[in-house]
Structure 1
Amino acid sequence: MNLKLKLTVLSFLQFFVWGAWLITIGVYWFGTKHWGGQEFGKVFATLGIASLIMPALAGIIADRWMNAEKLFGILHILYGITLLFLPSISTPENFFWIMLLAMMFYMPTISLSNSIAYYILKNNNYDVVKVFPPIRVWGTVGFIVAMWITNLSGNKDSGVQFYIAAVVALVLGVYAFFLPKCPPQNLIPANASLSEKLGLNAFSLFKDYKMALFFLFSMFLGAALQLTNMYGDTYLSDFGKIPEYAESFVVKRSTLIMSISQISETLFILAIPFFLKKYGIKNVMLLSMFAWVLRFGFFAYGGPQGIGLGLIILSCVVYGMAFDFFNISGSLFVETTTDYKIRSSAQGLFMMMTNGFGAIGGSLLSGWLIQTYFTLENGDKMWQEIWLVFAAYALVITILFAFMFKHKHDPEVVAVL
């Protein structure tokens, strides 16, 4: 198996084990378990809590003490084992703790998978900007396949979705040990300071104004991402409460509709090299932010039929730009602006801000906001108002980023990455 194919399989499985439950857990939570909205916000916040600690810690370990591919494999095996316990949980409190443990194992593998791919490609003289996006796109394909399997097998409201993810995670964990070796790059010098010995020197990036600002906006965009992950499928399924829409395709196959978002990702990932080289990282990230405004705005006026259905589909299409243009270009920005000795740690910091602080803020605040201001006495949610508030939030972030983040486009730096 050649190197690019090995990394393609890695990317496919990496996101399959997340996609099998991430979009459908809301249907399971509200529709099958009948647990509350604020508790759901707390469970989704486990992604953020884990991302505050584990990606940076895993990056430090991979930079200094352990081969990245081995650490990646161990974490996936532990993640798979933990998922096996979730379907038997009977209280939201216990579900929270088991999910938190699972996320402690899974979340660092996202940044580790990037670090592994970058190292292997560079070590074998590949052009990362050209070669990595087509590899990463298969992660999105894996996410889509997992969503479809969960929905078409009748398990979008079932605990079986966690079993599906668990089995594949165990396979991925074993597979990782057969990848090319990715040894630590940041060897400890004899005269190293305490922070260097502990691998904390990557946190010095916050001293740089541009990097600190980049990480701050990463947090704000991370919050936006969690909103559609948490509520997208539930929003579509809720149209089933209206008798005329109860048997509609949007309700019965809501996960398939949501998967258009991931299908869109595959197209926008492939377009990233062109956009980065022509327009630069800042403009690509700005496009991402404005796409979030459209994502939420289209949802606000969506429906199961006619123009409403068209708006839902458009919302799913622009999601590809919203997600990829920031996450992939942001990861490449970190790669081009940090020292090679701390790149795994720096990728961990990027994850910490997007899926850490951002996810916690997005999950807890949206859960409280929706429960307090946008939930009727009968439990129904005011979806149009919810999505419009989210759209306004994304618009404010876009405007602030445009004026505050200064970055000069250098095509040569992107070309030689």
Structure 2
Amino acid sequence: MNIKFRLILMNFMQFFIWGAWLLTIGAYWFQNKHWSGAQFGAIFSTMGISAIFMPALTGIIADRYINAERLYGIMHILGALTLFSLPMVTNPSAFFWVILLNMIFYMPTLSLSITVAYSALKRENIDVVKEYPPIRIYGTIGFIAALWTVSLTHSETTANQFYIASAVALLLGLFAFTLPKCPPLFKKTGDKSFVNMLGLNAFALFRTPRFAIFFAFSLLLGAALQLTNAYGDTFLHDFAAIPAYKDTIAIKYPAIIMSISQVSETLFILAIPFVLRKFGIKYVMLISMLAWVLRFGLFAFGDPAGGLWMIVLSCIVYGMAFDFFNISGSLFVETQIGPEIRASAQGLFMMMVNGFGAFFGSILSGFLIDKFFTLPDQSKNWHGIWLSFAGYALVIAVIFPFVFRYKHTPALQHAIEHI
């Protein structure tokens, strides 16, 4: 089977699993279980908690001890088991621990999938920067397919979303063992230092100013991503309580409306090779930050009727906000490190974005929304919520160009083109 096609299947299933429940778990939580918003914030923090240590840990294991594709398969099989068991949980505390376990298995697969793909493409002497984004598009298509599947089967508020995700996770786990071999590349040396023995070599990247700042802003943008994942679908569902909106398309099929964000991703992914080579990571990241300002600002003034165009435009802007940082960031890391710590470095990047960023984004946003934006009747002031999120992204965008003093040089461009 063609290597590109195999990687396309891997990416499709990788993000189908996530898309089957990530944006609709809020509707399941509030409309099926009727549990509190503060508890929901804790539930969404599980991906942050797990990503703080699991991507880096599995990266070290893949660099030193076990083939990355095998570890990738094991994680998905274990994740399938936990997803299948979620609907059996009857209280929010137990739900937290089960979904945390699922995230412990799932989050490292995000960076492991990148490691497997980059390794396989390089082994075939295929240009990673040119060829990986079109392959990665199918991950987004998988996410869209999952949203449509969940929405058209009316599973947004039911446990079926977890059963769907579980089935695909099991299939991907088994398929992973057929992927090209990605053996450990770390070479043993006489270095007996504590850092080397524990496989923490990639953490030395924090000593380099450009990487330290890059990872710091990765954390801040990871928080922005978490905000839209946690509250986007719930935001639309809340309009259903308003008679003027209850029969609108956006209320009948909110997951499909939100899937426009993923359709947009497929377009912006194709632009990544050009913009990264042309402008460099600094300005690509800045564009991403400004896109987050627009994403949240348009949500603040949109509604499912006359303001539907603003919600749709916000979803389109999301493609730029997400792709121009997450995918370009992983390519940037790949161009700056040696193959012996490839998996560890990608795990480190994932730790900052989906680990610390997601954790602090979930906990702080849940607290602030309950404290300042929840009305006496328990409805939410979504206008104020989205404006505050837009302000957060704007502050980051203003500060970033002054502290990330990294110049895109011809040498880096050459390295990117010959990765």
Q: What CA distance in whole angstroms lies between the structure 2 residues aligned with 1:359 and 1:303?
A: 27
**Identity over aligned pairs, percent:** 59
Q: Corresponding residue for 2:230? A: 230
**Using the alignment, how far apart are the partners of 2:340 and 2:303 within structure 1?**
50
How do 1:206-217 residues align onto structure 2 when only pairs under 5 Å count?
206-217=206-217
Tell me, in whole angstroms, the C-alpha distance in 2 between the residues paired with 1:127 and 1:383: 44
Aligned-pair RMSD on alpha carbons?
0.8
1:412 alignment partner in structure 2: 414
In structure 2, how many angstroms separate the alpha carbons of the residues matched to 1:416 and 1:190?
Answer: 31
Counterpart position of 2:120: 120
Task: Work out the CA distance in 1 between the residues paired with 2:408 and 2:53.
Answer: 32
Counterpart secondary structure, 1:166: helix
- Does the aligned pair in 2 maintain the 1:290–1:398 contact within 8 Å? yes
Matches within 5 A, 1:70-109: 70-109=70-109
The equivalent of 1:255 in structure 2 is 255
Please give the residue correspondences for 1:366-381 in structure 2 after superposition, counting only pairs within 5 Å.
Answer: 366-381=365-380
Aligned to 1:14: 14
Task: Please give the residue correspondences for 1:25-174 in structure 2 after superposition, counting only pairs within 5 Å.
Answer: 25-174=25-174
Question: 1:339 deviation in Å?
Answer: 2.0
For 1:7 and 1:407, how far apart are their aligned partners in 2? 32
The 1-side partners of 2:402 and 2:347 are apart by 27
Task: Please give the alpha-carbon distance, in whole angstroms, between the structure 1 residues aligned to 2:246 and 2:168.
Answer: 33
Task: Between 398-407 and 221-230, report the one with greater CA deviation.
Answer: 398-407
Amino acid at match of 1:256: I
Q: Could you tell me which runs of 5 or more consecutive residues in structure 1 were left unpaired when the two chains were aligned.
A: none
- Which amino acid in structure 1 is aligned with residue 367 of structure 2? W
1:322 aligns to 2:324 (yes or no): no
How far is the alpha carbon of 1:403 from its aligned partner?
1.0
In 2: Cα distance, 1:277 partner to 1:356 partner: 28
Structure 2 match to 1:287? 287
Any idea what SS the aligned residue of 2:45 has?
Answer: helix
Q: CA deviation at 1:105?
A: 0.3
Using the size of structure 2 for normalisation, the TM-score is 0.98
Q: Which residue of 1 is the match for residue 339 of structure 2?
A: 340
Where 1:126 maps in the other structure, the secondary structure is: coil
SS in 2 for 1:386: helix
Gaps of 5+ in 2: none
1:402 and 1:387 mapped to 2: Cα distance?
Answer: 24
- Whether contact under 8 Å (1:133, 1:270) holds in the other structure is yes
Partner of 2:359: 360
Aligned equivalents of 1:7 and 1:211: distance in 2?
29
Structure 2 CA distance for aligned equivalents of residues 341 and 401 of structure 1? 30
Separation in 2 of the partners of 1:5 and 1:362? 36
Partner of 1:388: 387
Q: Give the counterpart letter for 1:312 in structure 2.
A: I
Partner of 2:402: 403
Moved more, 189-198 or 344-353: 189-198
Aligned partners of 1:23 and 1:230 also within 8 Å:
yes
CA offsets 1:273-292 (integer angstroms, 9 cap, x no match): 11111111111111111000
Deviation at 1:305, TM superposition (A): 1.6
For residues 51-70 of structure 1, the C-alpha deviation after alignment (integer angstroms, 9 at most, x for no partner) is: 01100000000000000000
- 2:43 maps to amino acid: V
Q: How far apart, in 1, do the equivalents of 2:374 and 2:170 lie?
A: 39
SS of residue paired to 1:177: helix
- Amino acid of the structure 1 residue aligned with 2:418: V
Q: Secondary structure at the match of 1:181?
A: coil
Q: Distance in 2 between matches of 1:187 and 1:147?
A: 43
1:285-308 deviations in whole A, cap 9, x for unaligned?
A: 1111100000000000001122x1
1:157-213 deviation digits (Å, cap 9, x = unpaired): 001100000010000000000011000010322444232122111111111111011
Aligned mates of 1:396, 1:350 — CA distance in 2: 22
CA drift at 1:257: 0.3
Counterparts of 2:281 and 2:371 in 1: how far apart (Å)? Answer: 38
- Is residue 188–residue 196 contact of structure 1 (8 Å, CA) maintained in 2? no
Inter-partner Cα distance in structure 2 for 1:235 and 1:226: 14
| TM-score normalised over the length of structure 1 | 0.99
Matched residue type, 1:93: S
CA contact (8 A) 1:188 1:197 kept: no
Deviations along 1:75-110, one digit per CA (max 9) or x if unpaired, are: 000000011111111111000000000000000000
Amino acid at match of 1:272: I
> Does the CA-based 8 Å contact 1:206-1:212 persist in structure 2?
yes
Say how many residue pairs are matched: 416
Structure 2 Cα separation of the partners of residues 191 and 110 of structure 1: 30
Q: Deviations over 1:344-380 (max 9, x none)?
A: 1010010110001100110000001001110011110
**Secondary structure at 2:125 match in 1:** coil
Q: Deviations over 1:215-245 (max 9, x none)?
A: 0000000000011111101101111111121
User: Separation in 1 of the partners of 2:339 and 2:194?
Assistant: 20
Aligned mates of 2:297, 2:75 — CA distance in 1: 38
Alpha-carbon distance in 2 for matches of 1:180, 1:340: 17
Question: Distance in 2 between the 1:339 and 1:397 partners?
Answer: 30
Asked whether the 8 Å contact 1:68–1:183 carries over to 2, the reply is: yes
CA distance in 1, matches of 2:190, 2:181: 25
1:305 pairs with 2:296: no
Q: Supply the distance in 1 between the matched residues of 2:247 and 2:93 (Cα, whole angstroms).
A: 33
| Inter-partner Cα distance in structure 2 for 1:281 and 1:53 | 25
Paired letter, 1:415: E
Whether 1:175 aligns to 2:175 is yes
SS at match of 1:84: helix
**Contact 1:21–1:162 at 8 Å: present in 2 too?**
yes
For the residues of structure 1 that align with 2:133 and 2:312, how far apart are their CA atoms? 24
